Every structure is written in structure tokens, then in C-alpha cells.
Structure 1
């Protein structure tokens, strides 16, 4: 097995474990991102009676109370598929292009140019290429995950809008009070169908056809800089740590699982803070657009979403739920890097042992 395949499988395994552990935080964070809150003086243009959310912990308990554990883990199945595919594809291509970059650096050194190490710009290019291929291949899965995570929230907003429309109609004297009560009771009695992966896929296809599965692809492609920044920080920090250890003659160049965990956390923190606004825009585009029934809250594309968010909700809307995302993404990245490195170490140890005993088996 090549080291690219080994890294791809290790990345997929680490990604699945990290996703399961941090998924409730991801669900709450996605709901925070798509929640609309108007600026002062813009109430008429945004959702009515919208309140600012409480803390992340409070929201987790609210979801548990109203929807149970199924609410926190809504969309987990396609998310695990997406994580396995995404991490596998990303780490496979990352290792392939990393090997090429290292080979080029060594060739340049043999020609008397450079010191044989891969520079920071090269790490960025390698991560960007791997990230772009990953995004193009797995974006449909993440569209489904976003829809499933925000479905309950979207349906609740639609019901609120219908209820307010009935109340407004009654205030204008269009029908009698008893009829109003009947209509409100009828509205409250509506039971929503179970919202599974197939239902979400059909809904997306009916709204925008096959291209609907690539909604938000522009900010998602731009967000390739997130893992690029993440891996630049990670690889640079890892190289410095190993160089320092070699200089101090500590007798070992390998880093511990805890050190990888901390380096992964540092790398993801820097990447998340710098690219978070794009993540919010992507979530808005991928969520159900009928939230609140207000045309001003529907987005035709990336630029339209940015303009409307800035105009009606203010710049703070681009940073909604960032504290939750920092906790979730840093924890997930730390677990991912730690587990992935341990898987790779286990594979190397197994491969070395297998190569030693293989000649004896042949005899």
C-alpha cells in the first residue's frame, strides 16, 4: 500500500471519529449561522419576532428538549459518509502532491538550488489543489448535511410566517374570530413528514435541478484557503518542532500524540478565524431558502448573499456562532490529526514487521 493510500485511509478514519465526537456542536453552529437577526431599524425587512440565541450549551439543551438526540445528530449518516470521502480524498491527494513537492525540492537541491525542503508557498499550493479536488467531488454530500441540520429550524420559521399572515388577515377583518381559531388549530395540527437523506435530495433537485447540489460552491472553493492555512501552520510548526528537537539532541525526532493534538488545534484556530465569514455565507446558500417567506432573505448567489447580509443584518452576521465553530473545529481538527498520525504510525509499524517476516514465510 502506498503512503498516499495509507494517509487517505488514516485521514478518513480520524475524520469519522472526530465527526462523531463533535457533531452536536456542528449542528448547533450551522443553525446559528443561518439564523437571521435584523439590524436596528431593519425590522420590516427581516424575520419577525426573532430573538438572539443564548449560549451554545443552552441551545444544545433546547434542541435535546424539543427534538431529542435525533435533533443534535440530524444528518449524521450523510455527514459520516461525507467526512470519510472528504478526508480520504483530501489526504490521498495531499500526500500525492506533497510527495511530488518534496521530490522537486530534493531535485532542486541536487542542482545546487535550495536546501531540499518544501517552502511555505509550496505547502499552500499542495493543500489548495487537494482541497479544490475534494470540494468539487464532495460538495453534494455537504449540501444534504446542511439541509438536514437546519430543516427543523426552517420549518419552524415557515410556520411562524404562516401564523403571522393569518393574524394579520384577521386584524384586517377578512374573517371572523371563530374561523381564525379554526385556521390556527388546523395550522398547529400539521405534522411534518420525516426528513431523511432522500427527502432532502429530492427537495434540492426540485428547487434547482442537478446544479442545486453545487450551491455555495464559490465560497466553498474560496474556503480551500482554510485547510491551506491550516496545513501551512501545521507543517511549519511540526518541522520547527522536529528541527528544535534534533538541535537539542533529545535522541528522538517523532512527536507525541499530545504534541500533534496541540499543533492541530493551533493550526485550525488560525485557519478558522481567518475564513469564518465565508463559512457563514456558504451555510446561508446551502440552507433552505424559504426561511421566513421573505424574498429579502433569499439569496440568488454568493454576492447577493453578502450584500443582503451586510445591508439587513450588519457585519456581525458574518461572525454568527464563531465561538461555537472555534470550539468544534479546533477539537475536531485536534482529534483528527492525533488519530490520523497514530493510524499512520500503526501502518508503518505493521508494514515494517510484515516486510521482516515475509522472507521467512516465502521460505
Structure 2
């Protein structure tokens, strides 16, 4: 068995760790993204105001609304992404000769193919998660439906197509991991020529690469989130371009960047924890596969 499965398992594990650690920021940034009216008493003014109001009205549970679906989603997302990414990367390396670093174009191609596979496989999970995250409950969580109840309600009231709301924007957002992993690979290759990288290096590489990706693609994230929470009774966007036009017309340019401060902090920390945890878990994943008999013990471990 190739290292692709080990990369998938360690990526899924790293994703779960990073998601659990940063989920309150996920909740806050998502609620700010979908908030269209900012002048009401209940509206969130900024990240700190959102945190205070969620804690006051819903308690700590409010910050973790939809966590279970988020954990499942990130595990599947990272598992599929890393498996596909490493498979494409291995194909490029085989064609070029093992040990030859990927070019920028090859990193982008690998990221695009892996990202598209992830979107098609996980968009239903993230659509449900977005609805769970943005649904306001009380301190006892009485008004909050669970994952399966929400899914069934969407299926009955809006049809199966509702699970792929915002999928076009999500496919455009494939450029987010392309930017992220291209920056990560190129900087990693540059530094590795000078010295061996440690866990903290991977933490910093993850943070820097994600900062670049999120800053560039954030307006698409806002449009995607709003398309995902639209119900059949609400007026939605006909397309990505319509979403951009509508937001700018009613909220100005700033509407495209609602919640960006908490999102950047969350994205950077998530990526940093993810890359650090993935590297730490990789050897454990290989060891588990060897014990399970799914991989020969004599295989050489390769994180590259």
C-alpha cells in the first residue's frame, strides 16, 4: 500500500484536532458572514460582540453549534484531499523522477484535482454544518435540530438539490487550497534545502500559506455561506456574480469581508495546527497500517 492512505489518515486526524481547537472562531465567522442586516439590536457588530452575545444568549453551547458535523466534515475533507493530492503528486514525481520537487504549476494542478474531488464529496456535509452553525438557539439548545434532522428537513422541504447549495462558489474556492498548498510546498522546498524542518516550522508554514489563501478568496467564502443557508422562503442569489452584485449594492464592499478578522485568525490557526498535527500523526498512521497488515513493515516512510 502506498503512503497515500497514511497521508489521508494523518490529514483527517490533524483536521479533527484543528477543528476542535478553533471551532468557536468558525461559529463566529460563519454567523458574521451570513448576517445581512447589521443595524438591528440582535446583530453582531464584530467578533468580540458576537462572542459576548452568543455566550449571553446561548451559553458555551452556542459557540460549538454543529461541532459534530464539522468534525465529520473536516475528517472526510482532509482524508479525501490528502489522498487525492498525494496520489496526483506521486504521479508527477514518477514521471519526473523521484526526489524532484514539484513545480508551481504541478502543485496547483494537484491542488485543483484534489480540491474538486473534496467539494463534490463533502458539500452536503458543509451545507448542513453551515445551517447548524448559524442557527440561533437558547441556553438549553431547545431550538437547535441535529445533523440528521436538519438533513431530513432540507430533503423534504427543499429537495436533494439543497445539499449542493453554493457548490459553484465552493468549486471556485478550490483555488483556496491551491494557493495554500502551492505556497506551503514552495516555501517548504526552499527551507528544506538549507536545513531539516521541525514541527514548529510546519506550524508556521501552515499559518503563512493559509493567511495568503484566505485573504485572497474571502469574498467567495461569504457568498458560498449565504447560498448554503438560504431556505425556500428566502430570496437568494441566482449566481456567484449576482451574490457579489447584491452584497455590494446593499452592504457595500465591506459586506464581502464580514467576519474576516475572526476567519483569518481561525483559518491560520486551523492550518497551523493541521500541518503540525498531520506531520506528528503520519508515523503513527503508518504504524497502525503495518499492525493492521495493510502495509509491509519494510516500506520506506516518506512524508515528502
TM-score for the superposition, normalised by structure 1:
0.74
| Paired position in structure 2 for 1:149 | 133
SS at match of 1:201: helix
Shift of 1:18: 0.4
SS at match of 1:60: helix
* In structure 1, C-alpha distance between the alignment counterparts of 2:135 and 2:150, rounded to whole Å: 9
Alignment of 1:5-154 (within 5 A): 5-37=5-37, 49=40, 53-106=44-97, 116-152=100-136
SS at match of 2:193: helix
Which of 218, 224, 230 is the equivalent residue of 2:180? 230
Q: Which runs of no fewer than 5 residues in structure 2 stay unpaired?
A: 300-304
CA contact (8 A) 2:6 2:289 kept: no
| Paired position in structure 1 for 2:214 | 272
Q: Which moved more, 1:193-202 or 1:125-134?
A: 193-202
Residue 219 to residue 104, structure 1, CA distance change in 2 (3 Å): same
| Paired position in structure 2 for 1:305 | 243
Shift of 1:286: 0.5
* In structure 2, C-alpha distance between the alignment counterparts of 1:138 and 1:351, rounded to whole Å: 25
Q: Aligned residues, how many? A: 293
CA contact (8 A) 1:106 1:117 kept: no
CA contact (8 A) 2:132 2:144 kept: no
Larger radius of gyration: 1
| Structure 2 residue 198 is matched with structure 1 residue 214 | no
Q: What are the Cα deviations for residues 217-268 of structure 1, in whole angstroms up to 9, with x where unaligned?
A: 00100000000000000000100001122xxxxxxxx311001000110000
TM-score for the superposition, normalised by structure 2:
0.88
SS at match of 1:329: helix
Residue 208 to residue 268, structure 1, CA distance change in 2 (3 Å): same
| Paired position in structure 2 for 1:263 | 205
| Structure 2 residue 270 is matched with structure 1 residue 328 | no
| Paired position in structure 2 for 1:201 | 151
CA contact (8 A) 1:34 1:284 kept: yes
CA contact (8 A) 1:296 1:308 kept: no
CA contact (8 A) 1:37 1:50 kept: no
* In structure 1, C-alpha distance between the alignment counterparts of 2:70 and 2:289, rounded to whole Å: 31
Structure in which a larger fraction of residues adopt helix: 1
Q: What are the Cα deviations for residues 11-55 of structure 1, in whole angstroms up to 9, with x where unaligned?
A: 0000001000000100010000011137xxxxxxxxx73676334
* In structure 2, C-alpha distance between the alignment counterparts of 1:150 and 1:194, rounded to whole Å: 10
CA-atom RMSD in angstroms: 2.7
Q: What are the Cα deviations for residues 274-326 of structure 1, in whole angstroms up to 9, with x where unaligned?
A: 00000000001011447xxxx88533333332221121111111111111100
Alignment of 1:241-252 (within 5 A): 241-245=191-195
| Paired position in structure 2 for 1:337 | 275
* In structure 1, C-alpha distance between the alignment counterparts of 2:149 and 2:288, rounded to whole Å: 44
CA contact (8 A) 1:289 1:299 kept: no
CA contact (8 A) 2:168 2:240 kept: yes
CA contact (8 A) 2:158 2:231 kept: no
* In structure 2, C-alpha distance between the alignment counterparts of 1:90 and 1:338, rounded to whole Å: 17
SS at match of 2:133: helix
CA contact (8 A) 1:285 1:301 kept: no
Q: Which runs of no fewer than 5 residues in structure 1 stay unpaired?
A: 39-47, 108-114, 154-190, 246-253, 359-363
SS at match of 1:244: coil
CA contact (8 A) 1:143 1:215 kept: yes
Residue 357 to residue 32, structure 1, CA distance change in 2 (3 Å): closer
